[in-house]
Amino acid sequence: MEWQKLIELLKGHTVYIQTHNFPDPDAMASGLGLKVFLQYHGIESTMCYDGTIEKLNTKRMIDVFDMKIYNIKDIPDMKAEDYIVTVDAQKFNANITDFPGDEVACIDHHPTVYACDYKYKDVRIVGSCATLIADYFKVSGTPMDSNTATALLYGLRVDTNNLSRGVTELDIEMYGYLYHYVDQKKLDEVASSTMELEDLQAYGAAISNIKIYNYMGFAEIPFDCPDALVAMVSDFILDLNVVEFAVVFADREDGLKFSVRSELESLDCGKIISKALEGIGNGGGHASMAGGFVPKENVEQLGHLKRHTIEDRFIRACAEYLKSTLDYE
């Protein structure tokens, strides 16, 4: 990471920091952290996103951390020559809208699916994007304040499921660094009692139709529900002792939204979902957590065998993936 290059690049430009659509705590914390970092180095920026900020914890973050983050609808004057830094997301992915500005830089912790020619790219596979942003402060000697540290630590915690998922040495190091500055009261305010009554309906529905084949757990949420909630239900299903690979999908008006989790090192769920949804939708992500989408027109083709077809596709994709990795060894 050469932070000076990022500063040089952005100097003198109108800068937007764009998270993925429907930003989660890690994306929002990373956006805030980067904004504070840039500000210290003389660059003003505006945080923006597409979609909605829909969950209780992300809504709370805005208040508790006093964040200014704008929906693209509220930025009608963004120009083609304005600079965009994407955080926790990469251009051309399904989860990020292509805004009018120029995506000159990217800071992300997800594997690259579609290559993009950024002028500055910092993609490192660690537990959270907040980890990378914290690293910018530490390496550059930029002063860390407690508000930013608390937001980043919260993002790190959520994305790594409390340091239990996809954690690297840098995550641990940054956790220690941030912890030093944390405002415990603010952290409790965003982190406690984040479950909403409507969440229980999603959990309830998933529990009522869960199916388990060997180590794989499948569940469907038969109504529209936010991305973050599908992910939470997927984590929940993975918590079952007999499940080591969880597939949860929600029936939305525009199609099926997937969240997949893997506890097995031998099963890379980013690659598996990409294979499982090939030809009907798209998917990708980390080895231990991934997401995907099947648009409505393709869901209709699956007809009443939808659930069966989906299960079958994932089971086959897992088997094929296992076979391909064995072949190479």
**Spatial contact of 39 and 107, defined as CB atoms under 8 Å apart:** no
Q: For residues 44 and 61, what is the distance between their CA atoms, to the nearest angstrom?
A: 21
**Token code pair at residue 250:** 């929600």
Nearer of residues 89 and 149 to Mn ion, judged by Cβ: 89
Site residues (CB under 5 A) for Mn ion, limited to 180-209:
none
> Please, what is the Cα angle at 201 between 165 and 25, to 5 degrees?
35
Nearer of residues 95 and 282 to Mn ion, judged by Cβ: 95
108 near Mn ion, judged by CB under 5 A: no
Candidates 9, 36, 53, 129; binder of Mn ion (CB under 5 A) is: 129
Q: Smallest distance, Å, CB 213 to Mn ion?
A: 29
Q: For residues 34 and 15, what is the distance between their CA atoms, to the nearest angstrom?
A: 11
Q: Smallest distance, Å, CB 77 to Mn ion?
A: 29
Region of 163 on the Ramachandran plot (φ > 0 left; ψ -120 to 50 alpha; else beta): left
Nearer of residues 170 and 212 to Mn ion, judged by Cβ: 170
Q: Smallest distance, Å, CB 100 to Mn ion?
A: 25
Nearer of residues 86 and 282 to Mn ion, judged by Cβ: 86
Q: Smallest distance, Å, CB 328 to Mn ion?
A: 29
Nearer of residues 82 and 159 to Mn ion, judged by Cβ: 159
Q: For residues 249 and 244, what is the distance between their CA atoms, to the nearest angstrom?
A: 17
**Spatial contact of 248 and 206, defined as CB atoms under 8 Å apart:** yes
Nearer of residues 194 and 298 to Mn ion, judged by Cβ: 194
Q: Smallest distance, Å, CB 151 to Mn ion?
A: 13
**Residue recorded with tokens 């008006």:** 253
Nearer of residues 107 and 219 to Mn ion, judged by Cβ: 107
Q: Smallest distance, Å, CB 208 to Mn ion?
A: 30
Adjacency order of strands within the sheet including 211-213: 211-213, 216-221, 245-252, 255-262, 289-295, 282-285
Q: Which segment (4-12, 86-94, 185-193, 278-286) binds Mn ion by CB under 5 A?
A: 86-94
**Closest C-alpha among 54, 95, 98 to residue 224:** 54
Q: Which segment (3-11, 99-107, 153-161, 262-270) binds Mn ion by CB under 5 A?
A: 153-161
Candidates 159, 171, 199, 268; binder of Mn ion (CB under 5 A) is: 159
The site that binds Mn ion (CB under 5 A) totals a number of residues, namely: 4
Q: For residues 105 and 63, what is the distance between their CA atoms, to the nearest angstrom?
A: 28
C-alpha distance from residue 22 to each of 31, 138, 229 (Å): 13, 28, 11
Q: Nearest residue to Mn ion, using CB?
A: 26
Contact pattern from residue 26 through residue 65 relative to Mn ion, giving x for each residue in contact according to CB under 5 A and a dash for the rest: x---------------------------------------
Candidates 82, 88, 199, 268; binder of Mn ion (CB under 5 A) is: 88
The whole-angstrom distance between residue 267's C-alpha and the CA centroid of its chain comes to 19
First to last CA, the chain: 33
Q: Which segment (89-97, 157-165, 194-202, 269-277) binds Mn ion by CB under 5 A?
A: 157-165
**Closest C-alpha among 99, 44, 111 to residue 75:** 99
In DSSP notation, 170-209 reads HHHHHHHHHHTT--HHHHHHHHSS---HHHHHHHHHHHHH
Nearer of residues 107 and 237 to Mn ion, judged by Cβ: 107
User: Which residues of this protein are in contact with Mn ion, per CB under 5 A?
Assistant: 26, 88, 129, 159
